[in-house]
């Protein structure tokens, strides 16, 4: 099968291409922002209508949460209008669209993991732009919108690689301890997307495989414990970790204090069993340390 992948250089897209490499039954046509201007809806439409593909995977997004507060126009163009145009073009061709969303559509005022039927209530521009994107793509019947959270992998700049680097550079590293969520192994996500793509490509619009789903590793943790699990794997770590609060950082964009994702719907429909976050983080940190990418 042939997959049109948008967002070629991003973390999940890089993991997806690595997972597909060497597979004779899959061809990935990957486009970067340099290849396709995501603020140009005519270009998006032309790319999809002219593509020789069986499925479109949108892994592109404006992910700079703090910058979105001052660049709202760009955030909504990339995270909402572009996916909406992708969905309309896919609908014209009856192509399935798989779109990645985020836990940031929630306000974080919860005492349990979020399920797909919980009402979104984003508290920053990034979350509002991603929610608008979800709503736009789900207007197309053959759409899968996957919410993910705290994505990490061996690829690109992410929380694990960032914390490993800072822990080598600093004597003291203060990490937020009052923000909670469910980390997502980007390589496990890529493997799931690749394995499930044939089902989505063949499924009719009424198939329950389409719709809104949550994808994350099992168990909830804090940002502090997330960082510590990675840093503890690096023998070259210099830093002493100290817990702090979100308020102490005074970031431009507020973050949901607690946004774990419940993956029960995904497990029930696809037989997906999420790995606990800790061994996945430790494995990723080990690989980064071994290959020198943490420095």
> Which residues are known catalytic residues?
126
Cβ atoms within 10 Å of 279's Cβ, excluding its own: 12
Q: Spell out the residues 6+ positions from residue 34 whose beta carbon is closer than 8 angstroms to its own.
A: none
CA distances from 177 to 199, 228, 285 (A): 40, 11, 20
CA 236 to CA 264: how far, in whole Å? Answer: 39
Per-position b or e across 63-99, b if 16+ CB within 10 A of its CB: bebebbbeeeebbbbbbbbbbbbbbbbbbeeebbbbb
């Amino acid at each position: 099968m042939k997959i049109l992948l948008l967002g070629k250089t991003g973390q999940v897209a890089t993991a997806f291409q690595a997972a597909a490499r060497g597979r004779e039954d899959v061809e990935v046509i990957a486009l970067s922002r340099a290849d396709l201007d995501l603020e140009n809806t005519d270009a998006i439409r032309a790319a999809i209508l002219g593509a020789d593909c069986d499925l479109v995977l949108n892994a592109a997004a404006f992910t700079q949460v703090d910058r979105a507060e001052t660049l709202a126009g760009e955030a909504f163009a990339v995270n909402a209008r572009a996916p909406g145009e992708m969905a309309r073009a896919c609908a014209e061709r009856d192509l399935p669209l798989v779109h990645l969303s985020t836990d940031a559509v929630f306000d974080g005022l919860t005492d349990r993991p979020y399920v797909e039927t919980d009402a979104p209530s984003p508290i920053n521009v990034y979350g509002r732009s991603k929610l608008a994107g979800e709503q736009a793509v789900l207007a197309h019947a053959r759409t899968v919108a996957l919410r993910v959270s705290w994505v990490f992998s061996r690829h690109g700049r992410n929380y694990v690689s960032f914390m490993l680097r800072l822990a080598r550079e600093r004597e003291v590293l203060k990490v937020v301890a009052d923000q909670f969520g469910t980390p997502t192994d980007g390589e496990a996500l890529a493997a799931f997307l690749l394995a499930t793509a044939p089902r989505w490509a063949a499924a009719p619009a009424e198939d329950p495989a389409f719709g809104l789903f949550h994808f994350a590793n099992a168990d909830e943790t804090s940002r502090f414990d997330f960082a510590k699990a990675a840093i503890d794997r690096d023998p070259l770590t210099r830093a002493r970790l100290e817990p702090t609060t979100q308020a102490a950082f005074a970031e431009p964009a507020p973050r949901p204090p607690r946004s774990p994702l419940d993956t029960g719907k995904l497990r029930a429909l696809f037989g997906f069993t999420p790995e606990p976050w800790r061994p996945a983080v430790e494995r990723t940190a080990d690989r980064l340390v071994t290959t020198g990418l943490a420095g």
